[in-house]
Structure 1
Amino acid sequence: MERKERNSEADSRADFGRWLRQQLESRGYDLRIRGGGQGKFAEDSGIGRATISRILSGQGATDTRVLAQLAAALHIPLGEVLVRAGILDPSELRAVQEPPAPGERRITPEQAAEELGLTDEHRRRLFVNMTQTLQRTAPEGGQSTAGH
């Protein structure tokens, strides 16, 4: 399993290197050995040439400062760069960009107890029961069932 994860990480870094190469070449940077494009982009972006070289060779980049500099230099949203670098997956980015509207996220009392860290079974049951009581709709006379 550990070997599979390492291969996946290596694939992700290589994919990111290919993606960055494509981005730079499409912007006119000549990345051939003597083309000078790596040095020019390093100068333009403020990122060290060795760092650019490591990323392009598939060794990746996880330093968010470097990724933010890449995003700024390429005029690409940071979120997209973080996804391309394998730092975030697309669903994580969507969750940050499009949080649920208030009241849209419904959880059960049991899930709420879990999220609140209620581990004592007695307190947990009390919390769940009280929450369920408060969630009940009031009967037709406007009085809640808790008042009876």
Structure 2
Amino acid sequence: MDSPSDGGPEIISARFGALVTKLAIQAGYDLSARGGGRAALAQRIGMSPSAVGRMLTGETLPRPDQFESIAAAVDGDVTDLLIEGGVLSPNNSRNQGNSDVRSATNQSLSLSPEAAADRWGITDPMIRSMLISNIRQAIGLQQQADRAAASGGA
């Protein structure tokens, strides 16, 4: 799976949970039934042990404000965690600049895809990443069409 749009929320939750489980074990958390690792991980992240259990088994994704704490708890980078976990597409690189798009209602206002998601109140990480990825893809396609038109077609 290369992007969040390749699967439903259940697939993304399962992929993210499996990744966090792997990273937590590598970071030294004993996740066995009596190991105490889930409780320790929950405390470090600031989540309840039951919420951590649901996340690790792939039942749910954490809230957006919890991703950074999860990455820190498993000694990972939040962007890498979100991309490898399937929450963000690989196109969401931290090295990629924010492309500005023009507002359809006011051509003098520049608006980044992230700012558009903010203005529309899109906070769910899966929906947000799909929206931003689609906007970036549309910008790229439009740029290709503009170059083709400028060069005389083809």
Task: Give the TM-score category using the shorter length.
Answer: 0.5 to 0.7
Deviations 1:77-114 (A, max 9, x none): 2212222343321102x2x43217xxxx8xxxxxx9x9
Deviation at 1:116, TM superposition (A): 4.3
Counterpart of 1:97 (choices 95, 98, 116) is 95
Deviations 1:99-145 (A, max 9, x none): 17xxxx8xxxxxx9x934269xxxxxxxxxxxxxxxxxxxxxxxxxx
Q: Structure 2 stretches of 5 or more lacking a match?
A: 107-154
Distance 1:84 1:60 in 2: 16
Deviation at 1:37, TM superposition (A): 1.0
CA 1:62–1:29: 2 relative to 1, 3 Å: closer
Distance 1:65 1:118 in 2: 32
Q: Structure 1 stretches of 5 or more lacking a match?
A: 106-111, 120-148
> What is the aligned-residue RMSD (CA, Å)?
2.9
Corresponding position of 1:87 = 87
Write the letter of the residue equivalent to 1:43. Q
Residues 1:33 and 2:33 aligned together? yes
Write the letter of the residue equivalent to 1:117. A
Please identify the structure whose Cα radius of gyration is greater: 1
Write the letter of the residue equivalent to 1:115. R
**What TM-score do the two structures reach when normalised by structure 1?**
0.57
Helix, strand or coil: the match of 1:59? coil
Corresponding position of 1:49 = 49
Task: Please identify which structure carries the higher helix content.
Answer: 1
CA 1:115–1:25: 2 relative to 1, 3 Å: same
Distance 2:81 2:66 in 1: 10
